[in-house]
Structure 1
Amino acid sequence: MDQTHNTLFLRLMAVLLALVGLALAGGGGWLLALGGSWFYLALGLLLLVAAVLLWQRRPAGLTVFAAGLLATLAWSLAESGLDWWALAPRGGLPVVLGLLLLLPWALRPLGQRLLRGPALVLGLVVLACLVAAPLSLLADPHARQGRLPVQRIAEDPLTIQPGEWHAYGRTGFGQRFSPLDQITPANVAALEMAWQYRTGDVRGRPGDPQETTFQVTPLKLGNRLFLCTPHQLVIALDATTGEEVWRYDPDILNPLALQHLTCRGLGYAPTMDAADAPAPDPARLEAARAAVPGLPVATEGAETTRCGARLFMPTADGRVIALDPETGAVCADFGAGTGQINLWANMPNVKPGAYYSTSPPAVANGVLVVGGTVLDNVSTNEQSGVIRGYDVRSGALLWNWDSGAPEEVAPIAAEATYTANSPNAWSILSVDAGLGLVYVPLGNQPPDQFGGNRSPAVERFSSAVVALDLRQGALRWVFQTVHHDLWDYDVPSQPTLVDLTINGATVPALVQPTKQGEIFVLDRRTGQPLLPVREVAAPQGAAEGDFTAATQPVSALSFDPPRLTGRQMWGATLLDQLACRIQLRRLRYEGRYTPPSLQGSLVHPGNFGVFNWGGIAVDPERQVAFTTPAYLAFVSRLVPRADATTLYVQADGAPPGPLPALNENFGAPYAVELKPFLSPIGLPCQQPPWGYVAGADLRTGEIAWQHRNGTVRDLSPVPLPFRLGVPDLGGPVMTRGGVAFMSGTLDDFVRGYDVTTGAQLWESRLPAGGQATPMTYLGADGRQYLLVVAGGHGSLGTTPGDHVIAYALPR
């Protein structure tokens, strides 16, 4: 390159430095005015000075730039320590600029050589930065090293055969623990695919909402697997070969007013004697038929039979259908010959699709218990969150617990309706047949971000776990996990039941994970905490017409993240990191439980949740938990409503057909804008890790180990296998063999972990997103199988699919 081209290169570098300097100085001045860091302004000014000097072909420009780069290194280490993923966006752009300035084409017009004068100074500073980089790669300041206790304190009280899986969490206790032990830390690396089945059910059909997802955890009964698909098919497979045995299509109504289209699983009742089944009430049956004109009747046009054992399939049009596990035929001796329960019976604000049971019903002691989801943040005129108990043999209504009228549990009169817009149970229920209790995780009354009009009953039961009498539905106790919830902190996870050994005594416990990161450990007989719970002061100052609770409960076992500061802001470069710091300063943020506001509030953890419906896995023998905490901040901004019809937050106008206009909150004073806390180029504004695996001792509340988990391979424009630690949606499973499995991370992998240390031992690439909870069982060939459902998640954008995959050790 001749001298003219060298000069042109130097001046281009000067222009580039000037542009970066202007951006940093301008944004840095704004940040400083907002009370943030002074560093960006100072660095911007240094870059502008360096740019002017270089344009003038003065070597002092290299010295000034070297001073700015050295300051960046010192500031970065002071803010982040040796944390590569925090250092990279701070130093990446300045180091690249420094390397470009050390090229001969930049040095020659300045009369400089690499190992002399200002060029030597800049070279030494760049070298220091390059040395710091590999050192930071060797460290993981976010890891917590330790070991869970290996002693088996108690024996798992087996209620089903070890190789079976009879409920969503294997049993009504919801532990997601299998007593199988063929797969161990020593041999898990040898796992290989045994078979793969394709359901043929993929998202993208007319009428599908964005959140059309394959979230099922199959049941295993005998040598058969039973699963449901997003579009409500029920399929039976040979558990050893994966061959289809039968499939049933309930022919649901379409179109529907759906926010979610999914099926997390089926309920199951073993063989029973139907001789003393109560007869259905004819008036109630007629009311159920009339609730939704045109609602299909399961026994019409389908193969039918009289059933001993039964599968229960909740459908998106608001039914629960009883099926024969042997043939897939509809149970004609259920629902007075209809083969189904109509959940729209006695329901206010009938709107098919707006209410249904996305999670499997609970079954115990001859009672089928059904909850349901309602639309989030659409209106104040939604359906009831009533919990209902039915006779498993006849389908007759036994009781109804309505949080709007919690004392009135006798079956509602045929002409009456339940309380509209009451807190609902969209997640999975747990049952203790011995105590005769069903445990219900409750959500919030919509709208989530405004509570000024909530009744005393709503205030008592929102975002709480309640224990109900299985036979009568009466309330036994309630424990609230959030007071006056304004953050969509529904209780999202199935309560996990386990008998803990505390001070030498066996105590029946309930372990409840929450979106805000608390894991409450309660006596499941009374709801009293077994691990200490304290009330801590919460930020105040709600929007006009609302209020905030003075305190919020915090458990001794907590994954509550530290409060975000400017130091935790992130990006690909200094520039978008600066934009995130400005955004943080412009939002209202006073830590966890910052109330929603008109200016916009930062919600951390966001409503994605530290824990969601996937829950945790608990080993009842070691009395430890395998958990998967995730951390993503969200931004919520209240938008005042002038009327009950105008669209305020639907950027693309009204959704097609009956699909709901989410977050409009028709009838409330405010609509709400909800979005992840992202940089201008779409990266999370908070630095990674965003997802972990962690092990906790349930007797002490100690978190023994915690490691970031998952890569950005399927989240970045190019497949980069960087292990930043990504969120998950879909829970883990543990085995007596000492291995835990999880497939729900937002990269397409299933992984196996050592329960004792948390070390990853195995992974296998999935053909689609695995946002479901795996399960494990024993095949007819005597082998232990790991089963993973990979179908992707619509609103998360993971790879769609229709795959059911079984893994096993080589024969």
Structure 2
Amino acid sequence: MPRGAVAANDPRRPPLVTAGLVMVAGLLLLGAGGWLVALGGSGYYAAAGVALMATAWLLWRGRSSALLLYAGFTAATLAWALWEVGLDWWPLAARGDLVFLLGLWLLSPWVARRLGPARPAPADAPRSPAAWRGPRGLLGGVLLVFAAVAIVSGAVDRHRTEGTLPPPAAAGGAAASTVPDGEWHAYGRTGEGQRYSPLSQITPANAGELEAAWHFRTGDVRGRPGDPEETTFEVTPLKVGNRLFLCTPHQLVIALDATSGRQLWRFDPQIKGEGTLALQHLTCRGLAYQPPPSAGAADATPCRSKLFMPTADARLVALDPATGTRCQGFGVNGEIDLWTQMPNVQPGSYYATSPVVVTERLVIVGGTVLDNVSTKETSGVIRAFDIATGALVWNWDAARPDDTAPLPQGRTYTPNSPNSWSISSVDPALGLVYVPMGNQPPDQWGADRSPAVERYASAVVALELATGRVRWAFQTVHHDLWDYDVPAQPSLVDLTIGGRRVPALVQPTKQGEVFVLDRRTGEPLLPVQERPAPQGAVAGDRTAPTQPVSAISFDPPPLRERDMWGATMFDQLACRIAFRQLRYEGRYTPPSLEGTLVYPGNFGVFNWGGVAVDPVRQMMFATPTYLAFTSQLVPRPDDKTLLVQGDERPHDNLPSLNENFGAPFAVKLGAFTSPLGIPCQAPPWGYVAGVDLTTGKVVWQHKNGTVRDSSPLPLPFAMGVPNLGGPVMTAGGVAFLSGTLDQYVRAYDTATGRQVWQGRLPAGGQATPMTYLGDDGRQYVVVVAGGHGSLGTRAGDHVIAYALPRR
């Protein structure tokens, strides 16, 4: 054997496999890290690559100095990580997890005992207790410091705001309502959209005792031929008398006994062309209820009251709540064809996913128009029909806002005008309906929008109930190029501001602003500032010079390279490279040919679930979500070629989303995620928050939810996850929320935000809960758990009622 050689079975043989793996990791970091440096980013990763390659070489030679070098690299990594993010556990973990684990492996007997000085000692030399001195002891000490910093950072929550709102007992009596305390007559309980119940049986003190009282299965789950990706169970049931009324994704209407959960009747509207409709979404968020014309003795006359169900094939069906049969005096055979006088008729390209608005004499209907398919879509017109007969009373088209008289026969509404796909609110006393508006498609290209469209797109618009004319409009985004349509129902509440009681409107938005307006005039009650916005739209388009910012703003700080995240340093490096390659100058960076980072993304800080408002304590319970998205404009050579579908090309009749036929650009849209499919920006991604509406102050804010159902391993790390679905509040001082990406319904103390209970759900709970009083005198909380197609949460058909134990 040559002098200095080591036998193959010698325990001091150099750890060649470890050395090889470390060398590969170093080469990857050096190559990708050099790319990041060339893009103007951090030099850490390239330096880390050099350090790992040098460590690998020393390991290959069997030198204990490899541990010395690695100890220095680990200490430098810890110092760099603390400089970038401080004591913030999850960002620290992304920077140091593999570094720490590799250090532990290098300390192990399988590696450390194979290392020695340049000339190894004889194989039979006695082992010294001083083996942990020198390089091995130094590396062990650095790793202990690393672990101590991790423990300290795990005990520090830098994303938590502590505070206390007034408890219910200190707030006075309940606000008056025409809806009985124990019932829930509209999506937001009343037409005011507060999502607040005056029931107080469940409190923070006893909410931990909640248990399932009954469990109903609808039998309707996604996965049928022709179902779009966003086939979702998002309904908030109604409660009238002792009956619950709900609708399912495939448009069934079901009545249940509210105390037992027993089915009373079921109605199938027989969707025309089901399975072949060109739908973007398939859901039903709720029904609308018309009470009897006047209170009094029970009357068996059919359809003295009505349920209204908007369907996926663009009909509005009126049902008798007692029997589930059609109200024959309404429209034709109990329904209205919403395609009447609409342009560019294509089944599936127009439908309502949200409940309609009901007043004493009107039913007011908006609808979804396909986003980003073409410039020749149907109209986003808002229409009011006589609630008794179904006759058209007025129509409001954002492109022709002053022409509200019923459209004469032979004319059609304006193609491609902005639509309202979300839920409207109504104030009968003021004679106004408040409509949250979307964009004119396509969302990311606005050069061809008319002045009228520009005025009403991405705005909340107050229309007169009597005529449909505009009373006022407040635009939440100017020249919207980011799909920041107004997604949530406005909440109407009377507030005491500046010593006077004012009828207010609270409007959450996708970009994180919560505007508080005088609902009589649309004037801000809390300050709104116009702030400069990034410029430089693509040739032919433009950007607004300023954008409005409210006193209540959940707009996150602008992203920086150091805010990039990943499960490991490698996918974090990939996110840093992607960040440097995208155009990003903060919120409202315009879409671009090279690709733009959109943050907050069009998923929305707030979406259709909205917020809950306590009218007595004048506070808001909010669920802000933070996810970054990307958009890239792709020049179109013609009006037929599919440019952005890739392997997701539509089958059956599903629409070619984001192709923008007729516009100069298609658009590539996607979540800003790492190669492992996790968000590129560091957590938390979801919170709960309590806001004083009279001052605009966010009093408390806590991260909310775990990654138990979103990660490969079901680990309940409380990282704060996105939410889709709204909260409800009660006079008992408890809020309920089920929309987080983990399968839980949770209860919170609304004064402090403290979680007081959670229940495991059998599927995703992407819906807004509701609460009511049963015939047995118990307060129930109902949760729908059916999952969400595009979010990937578990599908189901569950309706579950929770209550306190019987005493």
TM-score interval, smaller chain: over 0.9
Q: In terms of mean alpha carbon deviation, does 4-13 or 629-638 score higher?
A: 4-13
* 1-structure distance, mates of 2:334, 2:413: 24
Equivalent residue letter for 1:248: F
Percent identity of equivalent pairs? 66
User: Which string of whole-angstrom CA distances, capped at 9 and with x for unpartnered residues, describes residues 409-460 of structure 1?
Assistant: 0000011000110110000000001101000000011100100111111111
Q: What does residue 623 of structure 2 align with? A: 628
Check if 1:165 corresponds to 2:184: yes
1:500·1:506 contact (CA, 8 Å) conserved in 2?
A: yes
Q: What does residue 32 of structure 2 align with? A: 27
Which residues of 2 match residues 301-316 of structure 1 at below 5 A? 306-316=302-312
C-alpha displacement at 1:5, in angstroms? 6.1
Equivalent residue letter for 1:195: W
Check if 1:426 corresponds to 2:421: yes
C-alpha displacement at 1:4, in angstroms? 3.7
Check if 1:570 corresponds to 2:565: yes
Q: Which runs of 5+ in 1 are unaligned?
A: 274-303
Check if 1:547 corresponds to 2:542: yes
C-alpha displacement at 1:3, in angstroms? 7.1
Shift of the 6–173 alpha-carbon distance from structure 1 to 2, 3 Å rule, reads: farther
Q: 1:639 aligns with which of 631, 634, 642?
A: 634
C-alpha displacement at 1:332, in angstroms? 0.7
C-alpha displacement at 1:121, in angstroms? 1.1
C-alpha displacement at 1:270, in angstroms? 1.1
* 1-structure distance, mates of 2:746, 2:653: 39
User: Which string of whole-angstrom CA distances, capped at 9 and with x for unpartnered residues, describes residues 468-507 of structure 1?
Assistant: 0012101000000000000000100000000001122110
Check if 1:120 corresponds to 2:143: no
* 1-structure distance, mates of 2:189, 2:131: 67
Q: What does residue 280 of structure 1 align with? A: none
Which residues of 2 match residues 337-416 of structure 1 at below 5 A? 337-416=332-411
Check if 1:764 corresponds to 2:759: yes
2:234·2:766 contact (CA, 8 Å) conserved in 1?
A: yes
Q: What does residue 301 of structure 1 align with? A: none
Check if 1:207 corresponds to 2:212: no
Given the two structures, how large is their TM-score scaled by the length of structure 2? 0.95
* 2-structure distance, mates of 1:35, 1:92: 25
Q: 1:259 aligns with which of 275, 280, 296?
A: 280
Q: Which runs of 5+ in 2 are unaligned?
A: 1-5, 118-129, 295-299
* 1-structure distance, mates of 2:131, 2:466: 84
Which residues of 2 match residues 259-658 of structure 1 at below 5 A? 259-272=280-293, 306-335=302-331, 337-652=332-647, 654-658=649-653
User: Which string of whole-angstrom CA distances, capped at 9 and with x for unpartnered residues, describes residues 577-620 of structure 1?
Assistant: 11110110000011101111111100000000000000000000
Q: What does residue 141 of structure 1 align with? A: 158
* 2-structure distance, mates of 1:6, 1:563: 54
C-alpha displacement at 1:84, in angstroms? 1.2
* 2-structure distance, mates of 1:546, 1:305: 58
* 1-structure distance, mates of 2:548, 2:466: 31
Shift of the 418–103 alpha-carbon distance from structure 1 to 2, 3 Å rule, reads: same
1:305·1:330 contact (CA, 8 Å) conserved in 2?
A: no
Equivalent residue letter for 2:287: L
* 2-structure distance, mates of 1:527, 1:449: 27
Tell me the secondary structure at the aligned position of residue 331 of structure 1: coil
User: Which string of whole-angstrom CA distances, capped at 9 and with x for unpartnered residues, describes residues 648-672 of structure 1?
Assistant: 0111364122210111001011111
Q: What does residue 297 of structure 2 align with? A: none
Equivalent residue letter for 1:269: Q
Tell me the secondary structure at the aligned position of residue 552 of structure 2: coil
C-alpha displacement at 1:625, in angstroms? 0.4
Check if 1:179 corresponds to 2:198: yes
Q: 1:129 aligns with which of 146, 150, 155?
A: 146
Q: What does residue 710 of structure 1 align with? A: 705
Q: 2:255 aligns with which of 227, 236, 256?
A: 236
C-alpha displacement at 1:75, in angstroms? 0.8
* 2-structure distance, mates of 1:2, 1:384: 81
User: Which string of whole-angstrom CA distances, capped at 9 and with x for unpartnered residues, describes residues 563-586 of structure 1?
Assistant: 111111111111111111011000
Equivalent residue letter for 1:259: Q
* 2-structure distance, mates of 1:615, 1:185: 23
C-alpha displacement at 1:306, in angstroms? 4.2
* 1-structure distance, mates of 2:165, 2:648: 52
1:21·1:44 contact (CA, 8 Å) conserved in 2?
A: yes
* 2-structure distance, mates of 1:709, 1:563: 21
1:305·1:329 contact (CA, 8 Å) conserved in 2?
A: no
Shift of the 550–156 alpha-carbon distance from structure 1 to 2, 3 Å rule, reads: same
Q: 1:696 aligns with which of 691, 702, 722?
A: 691
C-alpha displacement at 1:108, in angstroms? 2.3
Equivalent residue letter for 2:155: L
Tell me the secondary structure at the aligned position of residue 414 of structure 2: coil
* 1-structure distance, mates of 2:96, 2:359: 59
C-alpha displacement at 1:555, in angstroms? 0.3
User: Which string of whole-angstrom CA distances, capped at 9 and with x for unpartnered residues, describes residues 265-312 of structure 1?
Assistant: 111111138xxxxxxxxxxxxxxxxxxxxxxxxxxxxxx984210010
* 1-structure distance, mates of 2:401, 2:767: 33
Shift of the 63–654 alpha-carbon distance from structure 1 to 2, 3 Å rule, reads: closer
1:468·1:476 contact (CA, 8 Å) conserved in 2?
A: yes
Q: 2:42 aligns with which of 23, 27, 37?
A: 37
1:767·1:790 contact (CA, 8 Å) conserved in 2?
A: yes
Q: What does residue 279 of structure 1 align with? A: none
Shift of the 2–399 alpha-carbon distance from structure 1 to 2, 3 Å rule, reads: farther
Shift of the 6–577 alpha-carbon distance from structure 1 to 2, 3 Å rule, reads: farther
Equivalent residue letter for 2:305: A
> Structure 1 runs of 4+ off > 3 angstroms?
1-9
C-alpha displacement at 1:114, in angstroms? 4.2
Q: 2:19 aligns with which of 3, 8, 14?
A: 14
* 2-structure distance, mates of 1:556, 1:565: 24
Check if 1:55 corresponds to 2:60: yes
Check if 1:781 corresponds to 2:781: no
Shift of the 242–10 alpha-carbon distance from structure 1 to 2, 3 Å rule, reads: same
1:167·1:266 contact (CA, 8 Å) conserved in 2?
A: yes
Tell me the secondary structure at the aligned position of residue 478 of structure 1: strand
Check if 1:106 corresponds to 2:127: no
Q: How many residues align?
A: 781
C-alpha displacement at 1:251, in angstroms? 0.3
2:416·2:440 contact (CA, 8 Å) conserved in 1?
A: yes
* 1-structure distance, mates of 2:190, 2:445: 37
Equivalent residue letter for 1:612: N
Equivalent residue letter for 1:23: L
* 1-structure distance, mates of 2:90, 2:217: 38
Q: 2:267 aligns with which of 248, 252, 258?
A: 248
* 2-structure distance, mates of 1:170, 1:446: 32
User: Which string of whole-angstrom CA distances, capped at 9 and with x for unpartnered residues, describes residues 515-571 of structure 1?
Assistant: 000000000000000010001111110112111110100001000011111111111
1:316·1:353 contact (CA, 8 Å) conserved in 2?
A: yes
Q: In terms of mean alpha carbon deviation, does 42-51 or 315-324 score higher?
A: 42-51
1:647·1:653 contact (CA, 8 Å) conserved in 2?
A: no
Shift of the 62–500 alpha-carbon distance from structure 1 to 2, 3 Å rule, reads: same
2:13·2:114 contact (CA, 8 Å) conserved in 1?
A: no
2:293·2:360 contact (CA, 8 Å) conserved in 1?
A: no
